[in-house]
Every structure is written in structure tokens, then in C-alpha cells.
Chain A
Amino acid sequence: MKRDEFYRRLFEIIPGLLTWSTLITLFILAFVKPIWVAIFVITFDVYWVIRVSYLTMLLVFAYGRLEKEKKIDWLKDCESLGSIDGFEYGDIYHVILFPVYKEGLEILAPSISALENANYPKEKMIIILSTEERAGENAWNNALALKEKYNNSFFQFLVTKHPDNIIGEIKVKGANATWGAKALKYFLDSKDIDYGHVIMSCFDADTCADREYFGCLSYHYLTNPNRLRSSYQPIPVYNNNIWHARSIARILELGASFMQMVETMRLEKFVTFSSHSMSFKTLVEVGYWPVDMISDDSAIYWKCFLHFNGDYSVIPMYVTVSMDVATEKSVIGTIIKQYKQKRRWAWGVENFPYVLMGFLENRKIPLRKKIRRAFHILESHYTWAVWAIIITFVAPLPLIFGGGLFRQTAIGFNLPSVAAALFRMSLFTILVCVFISVKLLPPRPKDVKPAKGLVMIAQWLLSPLVVALLGSTPALDAQTRLMLGKYLHFHVTEKSRHGHAVQ
């Protein structure tokens, strides 16, 4: 037990230690060996330009797939498949689970309405609203009101209340989702429905699924021979309130969407994120979502990965689910909200000790696979925490602290111009982002002026500021907390939709 605790703490410390060692070493070297730091900065800049160019190319590929698959009539394709492995699309039940806290009707109703508008047969769809006891009567009454309104629209509309303070649980979304899934199990047992025919989609409260979502999901589920050992990941876009959100928030959320699109092209690293789907049979077999981890969306993937000895994958679906941009009326409020949301995402670094502890226990996963996956987690979180700091804050350090002699050296003289040239080389990626962001935009609401369309393009000028402010700092914060054992508590990103235009 003591040995386990030691290893867990060690694995918790490693990401933060690596990140801080890098930053502190670079800072010290900027004083004593500015030339070394300058060489490092140029090397990192070259690496970053190449990496960003490569990722942009993957983004273009992914966007191409998204555009192409938008035109597919998935239900028709499902029908044409006929029976596979003894069942066909008509046998599939879709369960959409919303673990909710205090989100109001204005957030939940559009999400359920989007499900009502889906082109999938409603008699095969089950909705579960799993509320939190600690959220109070209001949340429960909202759930009941929605049940009353939509009860006849679907095969079943279940409402549950997750009790507080269950032993072994902490206050996280995964605990609520698990409670809701267990309630579903009772229901399915009562109807004698095969778990293998049930696909569970765990959605954030603000998730509005594309009308083709369930057809697309059914198609991938049916055609995937390894369907029970796969999760199904749509592309998250943040379109619900994008026309009313602050520019800073829009850039960050678009960046998140783009990264998810890129990840669909890198399956060896692909991990579930936010709203996604999986077989209910698999969910029951692995023992539901972790009830003591904040990043339940990725943690469930790793839980499955460990349970099935590494034989678990994520299938990308080029269909979108739309969510809210985390925004506020004020710029400062938006920055704080975004910071907290990104820090919660970056808290996904908690998967590193979780996965490594699992790797220590599991002898069946090949060592090479263990090393590769552990490296992927560590590398992605490490890079997240240092890249923006290196580019914006470390890069000028040799010039500031290197002294006159350094500035007289060729590298001291060339550093600003070389860095600027590399930065200019990466500007084309912004143009690609602008193009795709415009293509992904939903129609402009009537209360938004046409000129806002220009703001949607001009907003990208804020990118350097956004990078400096929120590029790495939330990840650094998360890793530092994990390193020091000051664990993050689940912070619900408050959903709010403003009915007014914000410039």
C-alpha cells in the first residue's frame, strides 16, 4: 500500500517537475549562458513552426473529412447495412445521459430539443437527466418540468437525483454520470434489453447534437468489428452562443475544436474528450466512470484501456456536437472563466499517475505500448504547459539578461530577426484557422449586426495575446497543483447565454 502511494505521488510529481525544471533552468541559463538559451529558443521555434504546420495540415485533412461526411445520409447507410453480427440498426437503443448540476432550463431545453430534432427514430432513444441532490430543489424541479414536456417524445425519459456524500466518491461529474448509468441499468433490466444493443452518449448539459449524430454513431457502431472495445468521439464545436461570446473566448474554443479535429487524424493518441459515446455493455463491464476523478471524459477511456489490456480505441466521427463558449459579459470575467475551464481540462494530467499505476499492475499490455502511451500523455501535457511560456516569455530573456556582450554576438544579434521570421512563417496557419472558423460558423442570429462577421475574422489578431495569457498558464497551474498534492476540486463551468451582442 505504501509502495503504491509512493509511486502514485511520484507519477503526480513528474509532469510538474519536468515543466518547472525546464522553465527554471532556462531562466537561470538566460543569465549565465544566454547563448545556450538562444540556441534552445531558435531550436524550439523551428520545432514549433514545423509542428504547427504539420498540425494545420492535419486540420485541413480533418476538415475535408467533416465536409465530405456532412453530406452522408447515415440512416440510409445504416439501413443498407442489414444485419451485422446478429443485429441491425433498428435494434440499437441510444441513451443520452445528461449529468447536470445547476444548469437552468434555458441551457437544458435546447439540448433536449436538438435530440427531438434528430432524424433517428425517437422510440429508440432514452433520455436520462441525472441531477445532483446538492443542487437543490430548483434543479430537480427543472428536470421534472423537462420530463413532463418531453416524456412522450422519446422511448423513455428518466430523471434521477444523485445523492451527496456517497462513500468513495468526490464531487465530480463522473459520480453523477455513474449514478445515472446505474439507474438506466435497472430500467434496461426491467425491459430485458441487451446492453450490447445500447449505446450510451454522455453529454454535457449544453450539448446540442447534430441531427445526423445518432445515425452516424449507429453506422460506426454496426460496422466496427471491435465495437465493444471502442468509444465514439464526435467533433465538438462551440456554436451555441458563439455570436454572442467574447472574442478571447471564441479564439480559445475554436482552438479546442481545431485540436479535436487534428486528434481525429492521430488515432494512436486519440482519447475521448467532453461529450462522446460508447457501448453500455462496455460501460457496465468496466464499472462505469471513475467517481473520484475530475476528467471523467478521458478517464473512462483509460479505464477501458486498462481493463481491456490496451485493446481499446476511439473511433472518430466526423459529425459535430455543439456546446457553449465559456464567456462572460466582461473581458476580465471571460478570461477568468476561460482560465478555470482550461485548467480543468489541463487537470487531465491526473490521468498520468492513474494510467501509470494501471500499467504497473497490468502485465498483459505490451511494454512498448505502455511506454508509447505514457509518453504521449506526458509529452502532450508537458508541451501544453511550456510552449506559450517559451515562445512569449523565455525567448526575450537572453536579450534582456544576456548583457551587452551577448547582444554583440552573431546569435544575440540574429535572435530577434530569426524568431520574427519563424513567426511570420507560421502566420499562414492563422489564415487556415480563419478560413475554417468562418466555415464552421452557424448562421448569424437576427439580433447580431452584419458587421460582427468582420469581428469574427479580425478576432484572430488577438491570438498572440491569448497565447501569452492562456496558452500555457492553466496547464502550468494544474501541473503545479498535482505536483504539490493540492488537488483541484471540480469546478462547473457556468453556462450562460447572453441575448445581447458582444463586440
Chain B
Amino acid sequence: MKNSDKIKRAIAFYSFVMLFFILLPVILAYSLGYHIDFKELKIYKRGIIYITSHPTGAFIYINGKLHTDLTPAQIEELKPGTYRMEVRREGFYPWEKEVVVKPNMVTKAEHIILFPIVQETKRIGEEETIDFAVLNKSNIYYMARSGLFRSNIDGSSFKKLSSYSNWPKKIVNKKFSTDGNKFLYFDERNIWVVYLNLDKTIVQNGENAHVEEVLISEDPIVDVFWHSLSNYIIIITEKYVDVLELQGGGKRNTATLYKFNKKPKGLYYDEGSDSLYFTDAKRSADSKEATYLYRLDLRQTFFSKLMQLFTKKEVETLDEKR
């Protein structure tokens, strides 16, 4: 090795050794949360506040003082203590909170949402709409004065499906079938089903959807659920749990699966297991009434029971063991 190389190498080596011993304590101290106060010539343990907001770019005020960084920001050099944090952005409601900063620790204020003061709205759809239903976050179905329409979720590809416009005055709820080919809506005593994606060979008068009233109930309807097979609906009235078959022409089969002792207060239908959960009251031996939670399994024995009911042509209340 030439002498000049030796000298160059020695200079490089000792420079890098020095650099290591200078850099290491600085980087380690910073990483561990230590900070040097050059004014007081003191080293103190600092805390960190990590703050993010949506939208980003909001001003940060700490104890009323504006911080130099906008969100998202990592605010260091904070001595331990309690700080009043404000996040402000023009046109948005401010966010305020008191946060505690602990030595060598990180306090996170993440995912702060700043809500706009003036909400911008955009009209979706071109028709006067009574109500609407959304399928799988992808399509909007408009129950409009002039018929049934469909568009993408952003309002694009607006298209008329049917001229049907005899919508009830007060629609209680709307629900899509599991296969997405139908949805039902109901008011206090009536249920309608909208058949979508009709077979083009049977489409009449250019209609792409067909609306049909499927039930008129004597008792007020509490709720309606789709069976996971999409061809049955479970109707909960104040007195009964009924099932209604939609498939096929001719007479539509119905059956009563359960009779309530008292109008149910709580209802839940689990599509995964096709089970209906509901509350009902029962009078005990000492004539005291108590309410319990029940579960009705509509999958394991549902069709066999239903077939029995249809063949016997009688309706019976299922016992409480269900």
C-alpha cells in the first residue's frame, strides 16, 4: 500500500470512529426521549405527542400557542405535564382535549376527524324520490314518483327499471335478499317485494323490475327478515312469527312458526345460522310473568317442519323447546 493510501485510510478511519462516538449518544438520547435545553444547559426527559387528523394540514395549538408543524405531527421536546391541545382548520369545527405527557413516553392523539362547519351536499339522482335502498354499497335503488330507478353508488349510470310508482305513504324498512336479486319493503301491515335482475326473456313492456305486494297482515308488522336462501321471508308481527314462500307461481305458502305471549321487545335475525332471537314473556306456576330470550332455528329442521305444516295444512305454534 502506498504511503498516501495509508494516510488517506488513517484519516478516514479515525474520522469515522469519531463520527460514531459523536453520533451514537446523540441518536440514542433522541431515541430514548432525552432533550437538551441549551438555554438552561440541562438534559431533561421529554414526552412526545403524536397527532394525526383528517383532513391533514390542521394547525396545532399547545396551551394556546401555535405549534410550527401542521398535522400529522410528532411534537417532541415537551416536558412532562398536562397540555391543552387544540387542532384547528379553517372551515372545520375545532378539536380540543387535555392530554397528559409522561417522561420518555408517547401520547397518541390519532385519527382525529375535523367535521366541516358547512356540509356540502350534492344531489344524487334526477327524479323526485320517496325513499331509496342501497345494495352492497354499490347500487342505489330509487323509489321515485315516476317509477323505480337504479344508479351506481355515486349517482352515475342512472337508469329506470320500472314504471311502478304506487309506493306506500310510510315505508317502515327495506331489506335486500342475500342473493341481491330482490328487496322487500313494508309498512305497518303490508309487505311488498321488488324483483330485480329479471330474466330478459320474460321482461314485459321493457320493465327491468317487478313490484308485487306479497302480504297483508291482520296484525301490525314488527319486522321482516330474509331467509338466507332468499326465497322465504320471516315476518314478525305483534302476535306471530310467520314464514312466507316466494318461489313458484300459484298459491303462496305461509306458515306460523311461533305465537308470542307478548309483543317482542327485542329481535335479531342471524343470517349466518338462520336463527331468530327474540324475547317473549312466560307465566310461571305462581302466575308471575317473566321475559326470556329465545332462539328459533330456521335452518336444521326448517324445511322439514315447513313441509309438514304445508302438507297438514294447519298452523300450529311450536313449543318453547325451539
Contact = CB atoms under 8 A, between A and B. Distances in A.
Nearest to A270: B1
A264 B1 CA distance: 8
B12 to A, nearest CB: 5
Contacts of B13: 54
Interface in B1-52: 1, 5, 8-9, 12-13, 16, 19-20, 23-24, 27-28, 30-33, 46-48, 50
Contacts of A422: 27
A413 B107 CA distance: 10
Interface residues of A, number: 30
Tell me the interface secondary structure of chain A in the complex: helix
B1 A50 contact: no
Contact of A39 (B16, B30, B32, B46): B32
A61 B106 contact: no
Given A54-B12, A410-B47, A267 B20 contact: no
A154 B145 CA distance: 103
A114 B105 CA distance: 65
B106 A408 contact: yes
Interface in B48-65: 48, 50
Contacts of B20: 46-47, 50
B142 to A, nearest CB: 47
A16 interface: no
Nearest to B2: A65
A59 to B, nearest CB: 11
Contacts of A50: 16, 19-20, 23
A410 B1 contact: no
Given A54-B13, A58-B12, A265-B9, A410 B24 contact: no
Nearest to B12: A57
A38 B31 CA distance: 9
Given A39-B32, A415-B31, A409 B1 contact: no
Contacts of A43: 24, 28
B218 to A, nearest CB: 57
B24 to A, nearest CB: 5
Contacts of A408: 105-106, 108
Contacts of A407: 106
A354 to B, nearest CB: 26
A402 to B, nearest CB: 13
Contacts of B31: 38-39, 42, 410-411, 414-415, 418
Contact of A316 (B1, B24, B28): B1
Interface string A272-286: 000000000000000
Interface in B201-245: none
Interface string B102-113: 001110100000
A271 to B, nearest CB: 15
A63 B46 CA distance: 47
Contact of B9 (A42, A58, A413, A418): A58
Contacts of B30: 414, 418
A53 interface: yes
Tell me the interface secondary structure of chain B in the complex: helix
A418 B12 contact: no
A215 interface: no
Contacts of B106: 407-410, 412-413
A255 to B, nearest CB: 20
A107 B1 CA distance: 34
A410 B46 contact: yes
Interface in A389-421: 407-415, 418
Contacts of B19: 50
A54 B27 contact: no
Contacts of B48: 410, 413
Contacts of A53: 16
Contacts of B24: 43, 46-47
Given A46-B24, A50-B19, A409 B105 contact: yes
Contacts of A47: 20, 24
Interface of B: 1, 5, 8-9, 12-13, 16, 19-20, 23-24, 27-28, 30-33, 46-48, 50, 104-106, 108
By Cβ-Cβ distance, the 6 closest A-B pairs, closest first, are A410-B33, A413-B106, A54-B16, A414-B31, A50-B20, A410-B104
7 contacts: A43-B28, A57-B16, A61-B8, A265-B5, A410-B48, A411-B33, A415-B31
